[in-house]
Amino acid sequence: MANVRLEDIKRRFNNVTAIEDITFEIPDGEFWVLVGPSGCGKSTILRTIAGLESATSGKLFIGDRLVNNIPARQRDVAMVFQNYALYPHMTVAQNIAFGLQMRKFDAKTIQDRVVTVARSLSLEHLLDRKPKQLSGGQQQRVALGRAIAREPQVFLLDEPLSNLDAQLRDDTRAELKQLHQKLGITTIYVTHDQVEAMTLADKIVVLNNGRIQQIGEPQSIYGCPANRMVATFLGSPPMNILPAKFKNDAFDLGGQLLGIPGNIREELKPQQGQGFDLGIRPEHIYFNEPQRRRERREEEVVNSPLPTPNSPFLEVEVKVVEPLGRETLIRGGLVGSPGVLVNVQAGADVRLRSGDRLTLQLDMNQLFVFDASTGEALY
Ligand code: ATP
């Protein structure tokens, strides 16, 4: 097993810079997830570590070894791709054994490892089958098994669950986590799925446009995002972003005034008239359901109090009500700010309808303030 260290790695393809300034060190045995939108450079980083791409500049270490010029097969890493890439004419056992045979392990060792790996991935009963006789999830487990059997120093997984349906993806994700706990092999996992990132990672590396946005433990990134991109990428439904102007000691959102938490009011004072993006997660917004009169159910009365300066209240008009079983997602249009939507998580039993007016109460301790142009988190 080994730590993996990247120092200022850059990769250009002709005139396109796919990744740059990539610097991090993964301690031996940790599970790190590279996450970000399509094209942000995740796979390029992984392929560079694997030796399938070469860095344009920068240094890459696996263990204490500088591996920039070491070919892929001598790096002692195993990579699993989203399309499994199993050999269709070989059985499961032969697929798992293949890498060991190539490395000239003796027959007894190979046999033992195939059995051990198959057992750890619940594949024992499938060893004689060919890939096409397996489900997607089983094929993916074989691909993992083939990688594990080699006992590499580092595991590289590129969107390994993306071809599985939702239920299987959840199950396999949990299996992967268990497997890592059991084997303790340094693992680097690429995904654009923020749930996989949050649930699997010891540390998450959030990427955008080929650059690192933030590195940290899932909960700390979720709780303290470095910028608007990270804030909106992690979390489902995502953090609400509400454009506001700082005016007369309050945030002005299209005419609605939102109070400013005392701790930042003084700091913002010199910035009268400036625009900011406010961030608030759906789970940090509350409301009381409008009362409906029994005799005229369609009529609704919005709960007071009305928004005033220093208050944590905002008014929305309900656009969409999405029952999700355990909870309901409300999408409201911010009154006075055309096109600005506010997502709110509510209980399963809300009786709202499209067109209802709602007064939302924001947990002001959970309010983020982002620089409107750079997106940097200010507070
Ligand atoms: P996805 O989630 O869609 O797989 P990604 O985050 O893994 O995306 P990469 O595949 O690493 O992104 O690509 C990063 C950037 O580099 C993209 O702009 C991509 O178009 C570019 N790129 C990647 N490989 C090549 C290549 N061989 N030639 C030219 N450009 C490339």
Atom 24 (ligand 1) nearest CA: 44
User: How many angstroms separate the alpha carbon of residue 40 from the centre of ligand 1?
Assistant: 7
pLDDT of 309 over the 50 cut: no
Using CA atoms, how far apart are residues 355 and 316, in angstroms rounded to an integer?
A: 9
Using CA atoms, how far apart are residues 315 and 44, in angstroms rounded to an integer?
A: 45
Domain boundaries, the chain: 4-228, 240-371
pLDDT band at 292 (very low <50, low <70, confident <90, very high): low
pLDDT of 15 over the 50 cut: yes
Place of tokens 């608030």: 280
Give the DSSP H/E element, type plus range, for residue 338. Answer: none
User: How many angstroms separate the alpha carbon of residue 371 from the centre of ligand 1?
Assistant: 29
Ligand 1 atom index nearest CA of 41: 11
The bridge status of strand 31-35 relative to strand 203-208 is: parallel
Using CA atoms, how far apart are residues 182 and 53, in angstroms rounded to an integer?
A: 30
Using CA atoms, how far apart are residues 136 and 261, in angstroms rounded to an integer?
A: 51
Domain 4-228, CATH among 3.40.50.300, 3.30.230.10, 3.40.190.10, 2.30.42.10: 3.40.50.300
User: How many angstroms separate the alpha carbon of residue 18 from the centre of ligand 1?
Assistant: 6
pLDDT band at 298 (very low <50, low <70, confident <90, very high): very low
Atom 28 (ligand 1) nearest CA: 13
User: How many angstroms separate the alpha carbon of residue 9 from the centre of ligand 1?
Assistant: 15
Domain 240-371, CATH among 2.40.110.20, 2.40.50.140, 3.40.50.150, 1.10.30.50: 2.40.50.140
Burial 212-231 (b: 16+ CB within 10 A, else e): bbbbbebeebbeebbbbbbb
Lowest mean pLDDT among 122-126, 127-131, 134-138, 296-300: 296-300
Mean pLDDT of the chain: 89
Q: What was the pLDDT predicted at 310?
A: 56
Greater confidence (121 vs 282) lies with 282
- Please, are residues 49 and 188 in contact by the beta-carbon 8 Å criterion? yes
Q: What was the pLDDT predicted at 162?
A: 82
Name the nearest CA neighbour of 213 among 25, 34, 76, 10: 34
Tokens of 147: 């990688």
Lowest mean pLDDT among 8-22, 129-143, 258-272: 258-272
Return the percentage of the chain with pLDDT > 70, whole number: 94
User: How many angstroms separate the alpha carbon of residue 39 from the centre of ligand 1?
Assistant: 5
Atom 11 (ligand 1) nearest CA: 41
pLDDT band at 99 (very low <50, low <70, confident <90, very high): confident
Residue-level length of the chain: 379
pLDDT band at 296 (very low <50, low <70, confident <90, very high): very low
pLDDT tens digit string along 243-255?
Answer: 999 988 889 999 9
Ligand 1 atom index nearest CA of 190: 7
- Please, are residues 26 and 1 in contact by the beta-carbon 8 Å criterion? no
CA distances to 126, 178, 219, 250 from 112, in Å = 16, 21, 40, 69
- Please, are residues 245 and 277 in contact by the beta-carbon 8 Å criterion? no
Ligand 1 atom index nearest CA of 46: 11
- Please, are residues 278 and 324 in contact by the beta-carbon 8 Å criterion? no
User: How many angstroms separate the alpha carbon of residue 232 from the centre of ligand 1?
Assistant: 22
Ligand 1 pocket mutation pick from 14, 44, 159, 196 by most atoms within 8 angstroms of CB: 44
Helices (H), the chain: 42-50, 92-102, 107-120, 136-149, 166-183, 194-200, 218-223, 228-233, 262-268
Name the nearest CA neighbour of 12 among 214, 212, 210, 189: 210
What is the DSSP secondary-structure string of 140-201? HHHHHHHHHHT--SEEEEESTTTTS-HHHHHHHHHHHHHHHHHH--EEEEEES-HHHHHHH-
Atom 31 (ligand 1) nearest CA: 13
Ligand 1 atom index nearest CA of 47: 11
Domains 4-228 and 240-371 share a fold: no
Ligand 1 site residues (CB inside 6 A) read 13, 16, 18, 36, 38-44, 192
Mean pLDDT over 286-310 rounds to 52
User: How many angstroms separate the alpha carbon of residue 5 from the centre of ligand 1?
Assistant: 21
Name the nearest CA neighbour of 145 among 103, 107, 100, 196: 100
- Specify the pTM: 0.88
pLDDT of 1 over the 70 cut: no
User: How many angstroms separate the alpha carbon of residue 231 from the centre of ligand 1?
Assistant: 23
Greater confidence (131 vs 83) lies with 131
Q: What was the pLDDT predicted at 144?
A: 87
User: How many angstroms separate the alpha carbon of residue 265 from the centre of ligand 1?
Assistant: 43
Q: What was the pLDDT predicted at 291?
A: 57
Ligand 1 pocket mutation pick from 40, 52, 79, 191 by most atoms within 8 angstroms of CB: 40
